[in-house]
Structure 1
């Protein structure tokens, strides 16, 4: 089955983070996710959108006027 919903382990691997860091970011609401029966789940598209938004923020913060 091909699905775009990832587990905490999969999102940690995708973002090159430890699982502990992924849990902390999810619990803090820093990365988009949701719980199903107490387990975190993440839509790949939401994570990709989050990455793009972070890239834009970084570019804007790095600009000098």
Structure 2
């Protein structure tokens, strides 16, 4: 569990974190359901945004 504790995560790390496929994660990012930003051609996700998203999901919001 070394590289999974960074503040900035890749699509692959987010997929593992949520235990969903990378394809699903990529689609959610592209649709704006998971807040993300691009560095060059690579998507990155801030871990604190995932915490906010999890809270919204727990409160019954759908993505």
Q: TM-score, normalised by structure 1?
A: 0.80
Counterpart in the other structure of 1:15: 18
**Structure 1 unaligned blocks of 5 or more:** 59-65
Aligned to 1:61: none
Give the aligned partner of residue 29 of structure 1. Answer: 32
User: Larger C-alpha radius of gyration, 1 or 2?
Assistant: 1
Q: Going by fraction, where is helix more abundant, 1 or 2?
A: 1
Aligned-CA RMSD value: 1.6
Q: Which runs of 4+ in 1 moved over 2 A?
A: none
Q: Which runs of 5+ in 2 are unaligned?
A: none
* TM-score, normalising length: structure 2: 0.83
